[in-house]
């Protein structure tokens, strides 16, 4: 791994002055350093570091928003639209206001719950409860109306909602649901590092979700001092890491809780070292490079399509299909 080869180079540079090596060992160490240098040249660079904005959402709960606040442009985060973190908060029974009935059209919403429980309902009669570690991947497609987080029993709530844009040709697809229980989300483990793979793959471990837009969505959790290197497929030309706990170094940049780094399109490597127990979300995707018309809960390609969505919502004709299971 890159971290181990870097260690070889460090050792070689310090021992070559005082230690006599056999010729095969010298060749091995030299090749290791050359390979490490070629790997480092393929590492992505940090283009921007931003602090998440804090604001009210839904019926009045507080979120940290690293994506969708305007600090990074739609072009920079494409195909992602927004990422909200419901910061860990201890609520009394019934205190959490949730996000009462509201519509969506034209994109995917992904709810990932780290702590607590949350109910959800939609206008087609679907309902369920997410528990700690569960994820719901919802393709809103042509439109639906849903309610999130009502009837909270109390206790700590912590979670994330991600919006992923849909290609124009899929914006009017029938809505689709995929609910993944915590036990069914694949986990990759390395020394001092765990990674929950919600979408995409890591170290040969593949997610169970196959979203329309190809993305990686990985929750990395690292012990203090742990180091790990991850490869992002070349075709995924947007990559963002959002640290939600602890601090460390990501691709050479110091990052702490509440901060996100935008990585370059060039290169495939992401590496990190946790200076304290650190957790972060990696989002990587292929840019759609399509026009974005976005107003409130609707994300389409033209203003005319947005106006139609609001008109149909007001007339009660927004929902055209019953949500189906996602493959």
Confidence class of residue 13 from pLDDT cuts 50, 70 and 90?
very low
pLDDT, tens digit, 9 for 90 and up, residues 271-317:
999 999 999 999 999 999 999 999 999 999 999 999 999 999 999 99
Give me the sign of the Cα torsion angle 39, 40, 41, 43.
Answer: positive
Label the pairing between strands 259-263 and 201-202. Answer: unpaired
**Confidence at residue 62, expressed as pLDDT on a 0 to 100 scale:** 85
The answer to whether residue 32 scores a pLDDT higher than 50 is: no
3-class DSSP assignment, residue 226 = coil
pLDDT, mean over the chain: 87
Pick the range with the lowest mean pLDDT from 217-226, 245-254, 259-268, 318-327.
318-327
The answer to whether residue 117 scores a pLDDT higher than 50 is: yes
Pick the range with the lowest mean pLDDT from 29-33, 48-52, 185-189.
29-33
3-class DSSP assignment, residue 225 = coil
297: left (phi > 0), else alpha (psi -120 to 50), else beta?
alpha
* pTM for the model: 0.86
The structure tokens 């593949």 sit at 206
pLDDT, tens digit, 9 for 90 and up, residues 54-106:
987 766 788 999 999 999 999 999 999 999 999 999 989 888 888 888 999 99
């Amino acid at each position: 791994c890159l971290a181990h080869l870097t260690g070889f180079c460090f050792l070689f540079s310090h021992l070559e002055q005082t230690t006599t090596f056999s010729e095969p060992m010298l060749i091995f160490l030299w090749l290791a350093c050359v390979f490490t240098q070629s790997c480092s040249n393929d590492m992505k660079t940090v283009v921007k570091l931003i602090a998440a904005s804090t604001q009210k959402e839904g019926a009045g709960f507080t979120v940290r928003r690293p994506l969708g606040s305007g600090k990074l442009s739609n072009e920079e985060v494409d195909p992602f639209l927004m990422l909200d973190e419901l910061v860990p908060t201890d609520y009394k029974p019934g205190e959490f206001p949730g996000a009462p009935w509201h519509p969506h059209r034209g994109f995917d919403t992904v709810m990932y719950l780290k702590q607590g429980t949350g109910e959800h309902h939609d206008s087609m009669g679907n309902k369920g409860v997410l528990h700690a570690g569960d994820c719901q991947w919802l393709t809103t497609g042509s439109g639906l109306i849903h309610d999130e987080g009502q009837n909270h029993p109390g206790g700590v709530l912590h979670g994330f909602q991600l919006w992923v844009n849909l290609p124009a040709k899929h914006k009017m697809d029938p809505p689709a649901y995929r609910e993944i229980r915590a036990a069914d989300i694949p986990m990759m483990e390395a020394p001092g590092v765990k990674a929950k793979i919600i979408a995409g793959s890591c170290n040969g471990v593949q997610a169970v979700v196959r979203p329309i837009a190809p993305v990686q969505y990985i929750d990395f959790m690292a012990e203090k001092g742990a180091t790990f290197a991850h490869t992002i497929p070349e075709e995924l030309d947007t990559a963002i890491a959002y640290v939600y706990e602890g601090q460390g170094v990501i691709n050479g940049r110091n990052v702490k809780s509440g901060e996100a780094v935008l990585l370059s399109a060039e290169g495939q490597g992401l590496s990190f070292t946790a200076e304290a127990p650190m957790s972060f979300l990696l989002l990587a995707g292929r840019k759609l490079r399509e026009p974005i018309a976005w107003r409130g809960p609707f994300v389409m390609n033209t203003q005319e399509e947005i106006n139609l969505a609001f008109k149909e919502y007001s007339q009660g004709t927004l929902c055209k299909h019953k949500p189906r299971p996602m493959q």
